[in-house]
Amino acid sequence: MRFYGNSTRSQCHHSWELIRRLKGLFILPWIVLGNFNKIVHLSEKLGGNDRVHSDMRRFGETINDCELRDLGFFGAAMTWNNGQDPPCNIQERLDRCLANLEWKTMFDNSRVFHKDFFGSDHIAIQVVLHFGNYNMDRGDNSVRRFTFEPIWLSKPEYKEVVLNSWWQTVVCGDDSLLAENLDACARLSKAVARRFLATFQGKLLVCRRSMTGDSILTQIGLEAVIVTPKFSTRRPLLGERRIRSKGLRMVSGNG
């Protein structure tokens, strides 16, 4: 869940109440990341006046009450910079990633990276997920990542794949089955993809065989059409050249 904390001190309690309410709505693996506009320790600020201790305490209490844990990070410690030159420069760690135990267990060994500012006063944060056998870090090619293909939605049976994958969670109400069901959905999706590819390759082979003999692929400019001599008496135009390749007779124009 992406979160933005109120930057006005007198209104911060609304942000903490919102997180508490959201925590009570469900019991699922949960991650909260974004700009909280508050720090937890004085060590998370460089320059300027010290933060008010009561504000830091309330933020810390909210984190503990919601059973969230800081995921840590790799990179620069401070996520916000006011862009001023010293001695007016102020830097703080206002952005962070928090998650509950269920999320940390599901995405074990996941990593949070503090990237660059890219023209903003806040840095970009990247969360690299390691889920079961699927390593979602593009830099690690040891395990092939699962990728959803929109074309699967065109297959009528794919709806049943998704429903069957999640039915056990709906019936049992067991949130611990989430990781197992995601894995099952991925496996079944790949099976649908293999069947679709086999069907497509079969149709392609039939098309290739049907186009042998007298079938002519005529391509003029950017337009391509299939012409069968039985229905066409046009003679090849001057300048057209014929190329025979794999049983196909191709005719293309010169400009």
pTM for the complete prediction?
0.54
Q: pLDDT tens digits for the chain (255 residues)?
A: 899 999 898 999 999 999 999 988 878 889 999 999 999 999 999 999 988 899 999 999 999 999 999 999 999 999 999 999 999 999 999 999 999 998 988 888 889 999 999 999 999 999 998 765 555 554 444 455 667 777 777 777 777 777 776 665 554 555 555 666 777 777 777 777 777 666 666 777 777 767 654 444 443 333 334 444 444 444 444 444 444 444 444 444 444
Are the C-beta atoms of residues 139 and 74 closer than 8 Å to each other? no
Q: Are residues 230 and 161 in the same domain?
A: no
Q: Are residues 125 and 12 in the same domain?
A: yes
* Degrees to nearest 5, angle at CA 71 with 69 and 76: 135
Q: Are residues 118 and 219 in the same domain?
A: no
End-of-domain residue from the set 91, 116, 145: 145
- pLDDT for the residue 109: 83
Q: Are residues 117 and 39 in the same domain?
A: yes
Total structural domains within the chain = 3
- pLDDT for the residue 174: 53
Which structural domain range is residue 224 located in? 211-252
* Alpha helical stretches, state H, the chain: 12-25, 53-65, 101-106, 157-172, 178-210
- pLDDT for the residue 79: 96
The residue assigned the tokens 């990179």 is 75
Q: Are residues 91 and 43 in the same domain?
A: yes
- pLDDT for the residue 4: 93
- Compute the chain's Rg from CA coordinates: 29
Q: Are residues 22 and 91 in the same domain?
A: yes
- pLDDT for the residue 175: 52
Q: Are residues 8 and 104 in the same domain?
A: yes
- pLDDT for the residue 191: 73
Please enumerate, as own/partner, the contacts of 140-148 that have beta carbons within 8 Å and a separation of 24 or more. Answer: 146/186, 146/189, 146/190, 148/189
* Alpha helical stretches, state H, 125-177: 157-172
Q: Are residues 162 and 57 in the same domain?
A: no
Q: How far, rounded to the nearest angstrom, does the alpha carbon of residue 6 sit from its chain's CA centroid?
A: 27
Q: Are residues 73 and 23 in the same domain?
A: yes
- pLDDT for the residue 144: 58
Q: What is the pLDDT of residues 102-121, one digit of tens each?
A: 898 888 888 999 999 999 99
